[in-house]
A and B are shown apart, each in its own frame.
Chain A
Amino acid sequence: DTGVSQDPRHKITKRGQNVTFRCDPISEHNRLYWYRQTLGQGPEFLTYFQNEAQLEKSRLLSDRFSAERPKGSFSTLEIQRTEQGDSAMYLCASSSRAKNIQYFGAGTRLSVL
Chain B
Amino acid sequence: TQLLEQSPQFLSIQEGENLTVYCNSSSVFSSLQWYRQEPGEGPVLLVTVVTGGEVKKLKRLTFQFGDARKDSSLHITAAQPGDTGLYLCAGHPGGGADGLTFGKGTHLIIQP
Contacts and interface: CB of A to CB of B under 8 A. Distances in A.
Contacts, number: 63
Interface in A55-104: 55-56, 59, 91, 93, 95, 97, 100-104
Interface string B87-102: 0101010000111111
Nearest to A55: B98
B102 A42 contact: yes
A2 interface: no
Interface string B27-44: 000000101000011111
Interface residues of A, number: 31
Which among A6, A93, A100, A109 has the highest number of chain B CB atoms within 10 Å?
A: A100
Interface in A10-48: 31, 33, 35, 40-48
11 contacts: A33-B100, A42-B102, A42-B103, A43-B88, A100-B92, A101-B48, A102-B33, A102-B100, A103-B45, A106-B42, A107-B42
Interface of B: 4, 33, 35, 40-45, 48, 88, 90, 92, 97-105
